[in-house]
Structures are given as C-alpha cells and as structure tokens.
Chain A
Amino acid sequence: MDRILIVEDDPETAAAVAAEVRGLGCEPVIVTTLEEGVAAAPGDFKVIVLDRMLPGGDGVEAMARMRANGARAMILVLSALGRAANRVEGLEKGADDYLPKPFEPEELRARLRALLRRGTMQVLDNDLLAFGDLEIRMKARTVHIKRAHVAVSPKEFELISYFAQNAGQVVTRMQLLENVWNLHFDPGTNVVDVHVGRLRRKLEEAGSAAIQTARGEGYVFAPMAAK
C-alpha cells in the first residue's frame, strides 16, 4: 500500500486529508511539526502533503532540506498562503503541486491522484496515444477519430494531451488552468469551461464522447467507457 506523509498542524485539516488519502487506497502518516516532517520525509512515501505555516517554520523553505535528506516523494503544498504569488513561489521552490486552503475534497483527491500517477508514470515518449477510436499523434500534434482528422487549435491540443495523461481520472478546472494555461490565479469566471466545451463538441461531432462532466468536480476523459 502506498504511503502518504501529511505534515499539518491543524487536526481537522489533517483528518480531512487523511480521509481522502484512505479514499485513494493509500496509508496516511500524520506529523504535526516541520521538524518531524523533515525527519520523516526520506521515508518510503509516494507523496508528501506539506503545510506552510507550521510550528517550526515554513514548509516551502524546508523542501530543499527534505530533498537534501533524500526525500524522493512528490510534494503537494497545501497552504493558507493561497494567493497567486504564494503559489508561484511554492512551485518555483520545488513543489510538484500547490493547493490553497480552503480546498474542496474533490480537488485534493484529483491532485493526489495526478501526483500518484506522475510518480509511477513512464515518460510519455510514444508518438501515438490510442484510446480505441481516438488517436492522438504527439509529434504531428493532431487528433484523429475513426481515422478521420479532427481539427483542433494548438490550445485544444494541449488540453486533450493533458486529459489523455490523466485518462480515466477527474481533472478539475483549476488543474486545467494551472497545467494547460500555466496560470495560478482564480479568474472568477469559468473561462476554462468554454474551451473544454468547444473541444468536447468537436470530439462529439466526430463521434467520440470522450470528455464527460464530473458534476461539481470537473471533467473526466474516458474515451473507452463512453459508448
């Protein structure tokens, strides 16, 4: 069973995170201070969920120490320092993902899942990603459904590539905005929905219902199940 380290001083938050971790079939290990976290980090963990304003200091500042001690887990910073500037700072200092508090359980689950996958995933060097009728050619940057070419914009291609990397999993709007557009603020309006909607219509017109809405959570790319 994969283990996930939770460095969090707020017991309720820690419990909520632990519940999500168990929901993913992993084993949570909770520590409440930064020092304990740094000491535990080199252990056999797949992901470290790290708070920032901890007794003993800032988690983001401690990431380098964790890495130096031999920690190889993916680090998800989960912090009340949630402004765009804080997020960019955290990512620049080596976090693999950054989720601001307050967080939706679904959002945390989607991100943990993505990190767990990234931790084990082979590098995608296949030129061809095939999902049944749907084919994505990475080098040519083209999408084909039932052998027919589907014209997508460069951004739509990046979008479908990101979906493909997380095929079968819920992907949230925030994840799309961060990973596809590299933007780390909440634009308020759901601009992402419009883009996903367009891509989805194109796929549907070509006969593939690959993108599904996960109500209240985001989207799921499930080309094989959609029949």
Chain B
Amino acid sequence: MSADRPLAARATLRLAALMAAAIMALSLGAMALQYRLVETRMMQAQENLLTASLNGFAALYDQRRIIALRQAIEYRAAASAGGEMLLLQDRKGAVLAGTETAWPTGVDPTGEGFTADHAVAFAKGDTRWLGVARILPGGFPLLVAHSLAPVDATLASLRRGMAALAAALLAAGAAVGWFAARGVMGRVNRINTLADRVAAGDLSARLPGPRSNDEFGLLETHVHAMLDRIENLNRATHRLSDTIAHELRTPLNRMTQKLSRIQGQEDLAEELKSEMRAAIRVFDSLLDISRAEADQGSGGGLVPVDLSAVASEVWDLYEPLAEDKGLGCTLSVQPGLRVLGDRNLIAQMLSNLLDNAIKYCAPGDALSLGLAEAADGHILTVADTGPGLPDTLKEDAFERFVRADRDIDRGIKGHGLGLALVRAIAARHGAKLVLPATEKGLTLEFHWPKLAAEA
C-alpha cells in the first residue's frame, strides 16, 4: 500500500509542473513577440539613418559629382566615431576616400543610384553592418554602411533579461509546485492513512480534529459518512449472526434437555441429537463462511501462526483415521514456516480437507500433506489419489451447497459446505487456492503469503 505513495505524489507534482510550464511558455511567447518587434523597429531606424546619409551624398553628387562626394566622405571619415563605414574607390580600385583601406569581403555592389534599396547586412570583425554598395557612373564603387552594434547590444541585453526572467519563473514555478504538492499530499495522506487503518480491520478509525472548510474537508466528511455506514452494516451483520445463533440454539437447547429425559428410546433420542448437531454444524459453517468472507482482505484479528506446527497437529489428528481406512499416508512439512493467521480457522480448514479426502478415498489410495517454502510464499499441498472432482464440477465445488451427483447417489453424507469454508478461510488469509491438473485424484495447493521472519 505504502509503495503507491510516491506515485500518487508524483501525480500532484506533475500537475503543478504542467501549470508552471504553461505559465512559463505563455510568458516566454509574449517576450519573444516583444523581442521581434523591438528588433524590427531598430532595424527600420538603421535603414532610415542609412537613407538619410545616402540622400545627403546624392545631393552633393548632383552638384559636383565625384569631387564633392570625395570631399564630403573625407570630411565625414575624419569626423567618424566608428559608427559609419564609408569607401569611395576609382575605377581601378584605388581608394579615393573613406574609413576603410580595402573593399570589405562579402559585399557586392549593385545598381548605381543613391537609394537605400537592397541594403545588405554583413559582418566585419565582431561588428555587423547594414550598408549599400553601388558603382557610380564612370565606374566609381561606393560603400555606405552604418554599424549595427548598438542594435545588437540592445537586443543582447534584452535576451539576457529574458533568460533571467525565464530562470526566475522556473524557480518560482518549481517552488510553488513543490509547496502545492506538499500541501495536497499532506491532506491526501491523512485520508490514505485512514483508509489503510480501516482496511487493516479498524472500522472505527476516524480522522481527528475539525474538518477544514474546503474540498478536502468535504472529502473527509464524505469518507467519514461512508465509514459510519460500513461500520453500522458490519455491526448489524455481527448482531444478526449472534441473534440467529441465540434464537436458534436456545430452543434447540431446550429440545436437547427434554430429549435427555426420554426413557426407553435412547437410540431414537441419540439419532435426534445427532441430527441437531448436524444442523448446527451446517449453520455454523454458513456463519463461519460469511464471517471469513466479510473479514477478507483485512489483516484484523490475524496473528503470527506457525503454519508448519498447525499442519502437523491436524495431520496427527487425522492420520490414524486414514491409516485405519487403508490409505497410504505421507507427511512432508518443512518446519518453522510462519504466516499471519488465525490458528483455529487454519486448523478447521485443514480438518475439512483431510476429512474430505479420507471420506472419498478408497483403501489403497494415497493421501499426502505437504508444506514447503517457495520464492513467493509457503505452498501447502493436500493431495489424494481418490476419485477427484468431477469435470462438470471443478471450480463450482467451492460454492456453497454444491455437491457432486455421484456422491449423493452413493449416499455419502455431507452438506456441501466443506470446500466453500476452505475457500473462504484461504481467502481470509490471502492464500491463493490453485487446482493443479493431476492424473488421478484431487490436489489442492494453497499459496500463503510469507510472514517476515522474526528475531
């Protein structure tokens, strides 16, 4: 049960993580949008700046062609603070004026006007530039470019800010998720612990303290209402079986007392008494079956029991009976195997099994009881070479009041409750009942859960 806990906590954490991730994705999306916008606007501003420069040069070129242009570029290059890249060459490639000594690579002149069309971004060193390269009439290459460093610096700091914000969001999301999961798990664990206690047989277990006024409080209230109902039903069942016992056995008791006063017809009185005992056995078996089924799955009332010892004791009780009937008896019990159980119920179960086997086997048949430790539990085996269960019956044989027709025909006495009680008691102990296929007779295997070895 407790092994499921980390998985349950993971569900809450997963939900919290999902919510944190969703919020982060939205925030990052919004920031990315803003980033694109800023980037576009700044590039546009750079292009405008470039256009303005080009317009200036165009006006000078219109007046005095290359000479004016050369003077203006020389002047501008001298005053330049590094934010501009200007270069004018003659038709042989010699530099006429400019900030550069050579034509930068990766920039091919296109067209011959002073418009800012086809502006290209290119890199020189660590800096990116936005520029226009032209070949003016007469074969004079001209390059006018503006540095993109301020734009890149701004965008870089924007990116850093976003990364920091994302990290902060992640941390906040994780923290909120952890606290939420812890809070929820605390509340859920309270209810889980309660459920475990109830499953362990403590039907009167309840959560202490007042209910909080929220969905968990409501859940606790509902769980409590449910437990009250289960407890009432359980109490009613027990009361009913006690009442039936009382109301049936009290009149039977009066009959028994009166029967013992009958003189002269002792045989008839004895027969009646044995009929009454048989009736009580049927009815006790029914109550025992119901009780074992009602308690199934709960460990309540079970204590460590030496299964090996109980098996040997019950075997000792029945072995002479089996020998007298001419059965070959084999006992192979590994000593010291312990289970969580009710000694009396286990003994009753074994007694039913051995009694059945002896009843149905014929002289010469073999009967064996085995108990051995396996990897996943203790395996108790009761095997005989008698007639076995009819194929038409098999699993049905474990239902109440089911008997094989051939037994009824042969006049074998029974009430059809023995195996039903066996199954109920096995289930009460969490022992798995297996019917392995055998060539002859009946073999029943019970896989008992192990009890951890005690010091």
Q: Which residues of chain A have a CB within 8 Å of any CB of chain B?
A: 10, 12-13, 16, 53, 80-86, 88, 100-105, 155, 181-189, 191, 194-195, 198, 216
Chain A residue numbers with a CB within 8 Å of B273 are 104
Asked whether, in the complex, the Cβ of A183 is within 8 Å of the Cβ of B321, the reply is no
Chain B residue numbers with a CB within 8 Å of A104 are 256, 260, 273
New A-B pairs, 12, CB < 8 Å, besides A10-B254, A101-B249, A104-B260: A12-B254, A53-B242, A53-B246, A83-B291, A84-B344, A84-B345, A102-B276, A183-B351, A184-B344, A188-B278, A189-B359, A194-B324
Chain A residue numbers with a CB within 8 Å of B287 are 83
Asked whether, in the complex, the Cβ of B250 is within 8 Å of the Cβ of A82, the reply is no
Answer whether A103 and B253 are a contact pair too, CB < 8 Å, given A185-B344, A186-B277, A216-B266.
yes
Asked whether, in the complex, the Cβ of B246 is within 8 Å of the Cβ of A80, the reply is yes
A53 to B242, CA, bound (A): 9
Asked whether, in the complex, the Cβ of A102 is within 8 Å of the Cβ of B347, the reply is no
| Chain B: minimal CB distance from A164 (Å) | 20
- Residues 231 to 288 of chain B near chain A (Cβ within 8 Å): 242, 245-246, 248-250, 252-257, 260, 266, 270, 273, 276-278, 280-281, 284, 287-288
Number of A-B contacts (CB under 8 A): 104
| Chain A: minimal CB distance from B413 (Å) | 9
Closest chain A residue to B414, Cβ basis = A188
Asked whether, in the complex, the Cβ of A105 is within 8 Å of the Cβ of B344, the reply is no
Q: Which residues of chain B have a CB within 8 Å of any CB of chain A?
A: 242, 245-246, 248-250, 252-257, 260, 266, 270, 273, 276-278, 280-281, 284, 287-288, 291, 313-314, 316-318, 320-321, 324, 342, 344-345, 347-348, 351, 355, 358-359
A185 to B317, CA, bound (A): 13
Answer whether A102 and B255 are a contact pair too, CB < 8 Å, given A84-B344, A183-B347, A216-B270.
yes
Asked whether, in the complex, the Cβ of A102 is within 8 Å of the Cβ of B355, the reply is no
28 contacts between A and B (CB under 8 A): A10-B253, A12-B253, A13-B250, A80-B248, A80-B249, A81-B245, A82-B249, A83-B288, A84-B344, A85-B288, A85-B291, A85-B342, A101-B252, A102-B249, A103-B253, A104-B256, A182-B313, A183-B314, A185-B347, A185-B348, A186-B277, A187-B355, A188-B278, A189-B321, A191-B317, A191-B318, A191-B320, A198-B320
A222 to B114, CA, bound (A): 140
Asked whether, in the complex, the Cβ of B316 is within 8 Å of the Cβ of A10, the reply is no
**B254, B257, B284, B348: which contacts A105 (Cβ < 8 A)?**
B257
Chain B residue numbers with a CB within 8 Å of A186 are 277, 280-281, 284
Closest chain A residue to B256, Cβ basis = A102
**B248, B255, B344: which contacts A183 (Cβ < 8 A)?**
B344
